[in-house]
């Protein structure tokens, strides 16, 4: 075919030049349009993100609210009331609670009780991997699910460092044994084929804000697990407000977060047992 390529003389005609120049200009214009125009993936980003300012939680760091929780491992008695109230209010399947409670031991052998809701990370791995933005950050730092959008690929479940997500493998027909003793369902059951998770009871938070209450300070605006705790081991509130109960508690006590080395920036803090961990 083109084996016998001898010396090729480059003759640039006027026509060639115009073609090349036109193509170059066209490419530049197209690139410009695609990076800054309405089709651009960057068009939804805020200016601070474009400038490379590290921002987590999509507004939680700068907004009015950043909902967080403190769990006091020293006072927790492991009664599982938080698990049950959560399961009743959110109508969660008993075998796969959103909020787990387990017995634990410190390195010195002391027994304590460890519980874990969703940690509502500010750099949430689940939010990053979801192909359809079915799980996303709200401006108040909460990581929530859009059950109408989830396709059930379960990548978020695989990516979550804290095992905080469960999948609906089948249509739920179970009877919730915690209703009505520990509460009544305030949200509807999730359909088959979607992933679900703890929401910090956003339905209560949003309703409270609408009626002028302050979540964290008014019990009716708190997540179910916080209200039912008989020893007050869980405190909920606004981490962005330095005068909130939770902020003062964090200021006065040492606290840790789980798997901090991953940089997921959870919004749930733990006060360790007095014997240490």
Partner 1 sequence: MATVTADRKPISFSPGFLAWMTLIGVLLIIGLVSAALVFINGLTMTNMYDNVPWGLWITIDLSSIALGAGAFTLSAIVYLFGLKRFQPIVRLAVFVGFIGYSAALLTLVMDIGRPDRFWHPWAYWNVHSVLWEITWCITIYLTIMVMEFFPVITEHKFFDRMPWIRSFANVLHKAAPFFALLGLGISLLHQSSLGATYGIVKSRPIWFKPSMPIMFILSAVAVGPALTMSIAFIIEWVTGKRAISHDILRMIARYSGFALLVYGYIKFWDLAAVTYYGRTPAVDQALFTLRQQTPYNFAFWIGEIVIGIVIPVILFLSPRFNRNPALLVLGGLLAVIGVVINRWNVTVSGLFVPLAYSPGTQYVLPPGEYFPNLIEWGIALGIIGYALAMITLGVKALPLFIKTEH
Q: How far is the CB of 130 from partner 1 (least distance, A)?
A: 6
83 binds partner 1 (CB under 8 A): no
Question: In whole angstroms, what is the distance from residue 80 CA to residue 102 CA?
Answer: 9
How is residue 57 annotated by DSSP?
G
Integer-rounded Cα Rg, in Å, for the chain is 26
Under rule CB under 8 A, residue 103 binds partner 1: yes
Provide the mask over 212-251, with x wherever binding to partner 1 is found by CB under 8 A and - wherever it is not: ----------------------------------------
**At 277, is the secondary structure helix, strand, or coil?**
coil
Could you say which of 57, 125, 223, 237 contacts partner 1 (CB under 8 A)? 125
Exposure class string for 167-197: b at 16+ Cβ within 10 A, else e: bbeeeeeeebebeeebbebeeebbeeebbbb
Long-range contacts of 8-14 (CB under 8 A, 24+ apart): none
Q: How far apart are CA 191 and CA 147, in angstroms?
A: 8
Q: What residues between 146 and 205 interact with partner 1 by CB under 8 A?
A: 149-155, 157-163, 165-171, 192-195
**Residue 106 touches partner 1, criterion: CB under 8 A:** yes
Please give the backbone phi and psi of residue 10, each rounded to the nearest 5 degrees, phi first: -85, 115
Distance in angstroms (rounded) separating the CA atoms of residues 161 and 175: 30
> Rounded to the nearest whole angstrom, what is the least distance from the CB of residue 105 to partner 1 in the complex?
4
The correct pick among 6, 107, 210, 211 for binding partner 1 (CB under 8 A) is: 107
How distant, in Å, are the alpha carbons of 1, 44, 141, 216, 276 from that of 247? 77, 32, 15, 11, 22
The distance of closest approach from Cβ of residue 204 to partner 1 in the complex, given in angstroms and rounded to an integer, is 26
Contact criterion met (CB below 8 Å) for 66 and 73:
no
By CB under 8 A, residue 255 contacts partner 1: no
Q: Which residue lies nearer to partner 1 by CB, 157 or 217?
A: 157
Q: How far apart are CA 102 and CA 257, in angstroms?
A: 17
Instruction: Work out which of 179, 202, 207, 258 binds partner 1, going by CB under 8 A.
Output: 258
Return the number of the residue (120 or 204) whose C-beta is nearest partner 1: 120
Quote the least distance from Cβ 53 to partner 1, whole Å. Answer: 17
The nearer residue to partner 1, 228 or 268, going by C-beta atoms, is: 268
Instruction: Please identify, using beta-carbon distances, which residue of 2 and 6 lies nearer to partner 1.
Output: 2
Site for partner 1 in 126-145 (CB under 8 A): 128-134
Binding footprint of partner 1 on the chain (CB under 8 A): 1, 41, 73, 96, 102-107, 112, 114, 116, 125, 128-134, 149-155, 157-163, 165-171, 192-195, 256, 258-259, 262-263, 270, 272, 277
């Amino acid at each position: 075919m083109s084996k016998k390529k001898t010396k090729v003389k480059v003759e640039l005609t006027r026509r060639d030049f115009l073609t090349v120049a036109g193509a170059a200009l066209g490419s530049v214009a197209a690139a410009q349009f695609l990076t800054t125009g309405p089709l651009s993936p960057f068009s939804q980003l805020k200016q601070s993100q474009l400038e490379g300012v590290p921002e987590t939680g999509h507004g939680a760091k700068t907004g009015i609210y950043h909902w967080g929780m403190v769990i006091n491992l020293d006072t927790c008695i492991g009664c599982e009331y938080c698990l049950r109230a959560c399961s009743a209010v959110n109508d969660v399947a008993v075998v796969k609670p959103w909020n787990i409670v387990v017995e634990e031991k410190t390195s010195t052998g002391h027994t304590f009780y460890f519980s874990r809701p969703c940690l509502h990370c500010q750099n949430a791995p689940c939010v990053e991997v979801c192909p359809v933005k079915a799980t996303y950050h709200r401006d108040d730092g909460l990581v929530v699910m859009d059950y109408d959008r989830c396709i059930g690929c379960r990548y978020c479940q695989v990516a979550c460092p804290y095992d905080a997500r469960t999948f609906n493998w089948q249509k739920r027909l179970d009877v919730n044994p915690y209703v009505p003793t520990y509460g009544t369902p305030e949200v509807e059951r999730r359909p088959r084929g979607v992933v679900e998770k703890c929401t910090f009871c956003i339905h209560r938070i949003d309703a409270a804000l609408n009626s002028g209450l302050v979540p964290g300070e008014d019990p009716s605006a708190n997540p179910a697990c916080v209200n039912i705790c008989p020893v007050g081991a869980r405190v909920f509130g606004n981490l962005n407000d330095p005068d909130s109960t939770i902020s003062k508690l964090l200021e006065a006590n040492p606290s840790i977060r789980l798997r901090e080395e991953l940089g997921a920036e959870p919004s749930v803090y733990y006060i360790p047992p007095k014997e240490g961990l």
